[in-house]
Homo-oligomer: A and B are copies of this chain.
Amino acid sequence: ARTGIPEAVLAETKSVAALSRILSETLERGERMLFTRMTAAQFAALNAAAPGALDYDPVSRTAILGSAPANGLESPICIVSAGTSDAPVALEAARTLAFSGWQAPVIQDVGVAGLWRLMEKIAVIRSHSVIIAVAGMEGALFSVLGGLVPGLVIAVPTSVGYGVSRDGHVALHSALASCAPGIVAVNIDNGFGAACAAMKALRIQG
């Protein structure tokens, strides 16, 4: 899109009627569209009306209307996540990047409780300019990455956890309070927003 940010529709809070209208209008205009936070039930209803129009991924809960071809460039962005439970958010970021042509690597399951797993991947991570870091629970991954990599760390706290960490506020606050300077954060579970910010950063001419 004009500002380099993909057109996207947040599906979850919309009625199927409203989503259908958006879908058919976009089809008519011959445009592409990214839908985020789409439930399986919403997809089923939309797919019944317009079979095959949407490429739906149930883990990231994203649907893509129209093709999303890779740009063929080496991705300066990588995605790092703390645990398997964080996959939906990490993949929402990946799908948002893919919608704009970037094939960013997703490095999963490198939470700090097993620091050696992170260390095995640290050279690969350091080779990227922007790191989208995805973590729930206590979010210690953000500070550890922030102290180890020179690139811009964009923290995405997830709502994975229970007890005090239910809903992701602990991970969010850990990102914001981090002693490692230069970490920035987006809303809890907002993989889409992190990907948008990462692509905005790519356009900067230092």
**A residues touching B (Cβ–Cβ < 8 Å)?**
3-5, 8, 10, 12-15, 18, 37, 59, 76, 82-85, 87, 111-115, 129-130, 137-140, 142-144, 146-148, 150-152, 154, 157, 159-170, 172-190, 192-193, 196-197, 199-206
Contact = CB atoms under 8 A, between A and B. Distances in A.
B197 A183 contact: yes
B178 A183 contact: no
Quick one: which of A139, A154, A160 has the most chain B CB within 10 A? A139
Contacts of A176: 138, 163-165, 172, 185-188, 190
A76 B69 CA distance: 31
Contact of A112 (B140, B160, B169): B140
A184 B187 contact: no
Given A113-B180, A188-B162, A197 B152 contact: yes
Contact of A13 (B85, B164, B170): B85
Nearest to A96: B181
A192 B85 CA distance: 18
A200 B152 contact: yes
Copies in the complex: 8
A171 to B, nearest CB: 8
Contact of A14 (B85, B137, B139, B185): B85
Given A174-B174, A177-B164, A179-B83, A201 B203 contact: no
A191 to B, nearest CB: 11
A16 to B, nearest CB: 12
A149 B148 CA distance: 20
A167 B162 CA distance: 10
Contacts of A157: 163
A13 to B, nearest CB: 4
A144 B174 CA distance: 14
A179 B138 contact: yes
